[in-house]
Amino acid sequence: MKVDVTTANMRILECFSSDTRVRMIELMNEKPYNIGELAEALGLSSAIITKHILKLEEAGIVATENLAGKRGTQKRCTLKLDQLTLVLRSSTAEEQPDQNQLTVDLPVGQYSAYEVRPTCGLASPEKLIGMLDDPRYFDDPGHTKAELLWFASGFVEYRIPNYLVGNQSASALSISLEICSEAPKYNDNWPSDITFSVNGMDLATWTCPGDFGSRRGQYTPSWWVDTQYGLHKTLSITDNGTFIDGVQFSGTRIGQLNIRAGQELRFRISCPETAAHCGGVSLFGKGFGNYPQDIRVTITL
């Protein structure tokens, strides 16, 4: 991963200004750790370790997942990156696109189907779209301009354009987005089991730890006072299985999705009422949160 040394990337650069965070990275270089193990190894409280892990996770350096432990749920922490290169002088030449990849950005508001229950709503960078907690406004023509949406349970589904031609087939599918739970107002400790599906096949269920609003999102408009940002997650389906941020979540392989020319792709994000942690979904586009992007889909040939 390459990072330009600019003020826009301060969230990443600040991660290395703390001796504690660097020591945590050193430990996780050896193996995954849970919060309690890191706290014991560094002689700090679990609360302090949790704050440092959140900062590393927001920067995309660490990935976490909630697992069953001897005394309830434990959060396992894993290094997401193998290396990070600081770019002091950016090249002025335009980067040439990878000819073996097809990439498309899906605006958050351009879903093709939905079923949501309150709390729920939509917002563009300028204003709310419709009324709060009324699912009927997800049908409002203005929903295509939404760059933030949220719901307590249910799903939103997107149609992914498929530009494969002839005998081309996909060797990998990657979907990255900024996402978190949905609590009334916000609650950093509000777990939610969020399931990602393609073409009706459930690929992975990831437990988001909370709904984040204790500080302002880097790109969130100043008028917005509710949930501020999410976590940047990357779902990858390859020949080896399905992964989120490099951690394997299922054995579903790319070939099982049968992605070929003329094959429609339907991508669904859901949190069913029957989930163990039904904490809802907040989904961020380029006008909200900490990452200036929509839902980015890359098909590798």
Q: What is the pTM of this model?
A: 0.73
Give the other-Cβ count within 10 Å of 267's Cβ: 23
Residue whose token pair is 């069953």: 68
Give counts: helices (H), strands (E), the chain: 4, 17
User: How does pLDDT run along the chain (301 residues), one tens digit per residue?
Assistant: 677 787 768 888 889 999 999 999 999 998 999 999 999 999 999 999 999 999 898 888 988 888 877 667 788 899 888 778 888 876 544 455 556 888 999 999 999 999 999 999 999 999 999 999 999 999 999 999 999 999 999 999 999 998 888 888 889 999 999 999 999 889 999 999 999 999 999 999 999 999 999 888 999 999 999 999 999 999 999 999 999 988 899 999 999 998 888 788 999 999 999 999 999 999 999 999 999 899 999 999 8
Q: What are the structural domains of the chain?
A: 2-87 (1.10.10.10), 101-300 (2.60.120.260)
- Of 12, 149, 6, 25, nearest to 78 (Cα)? 25
Distances in whole angstroms, Cα of residue 18 to Cα of each of 14, 24, 113, 264, 300: 8, 10, 45, 47, 37
Cα separation, 158 vs 288, in Å, equals 19
pLDDT of residue 93: 43
- Of 205, 210, 252, 239, nearest to 227 (Cα)? 210
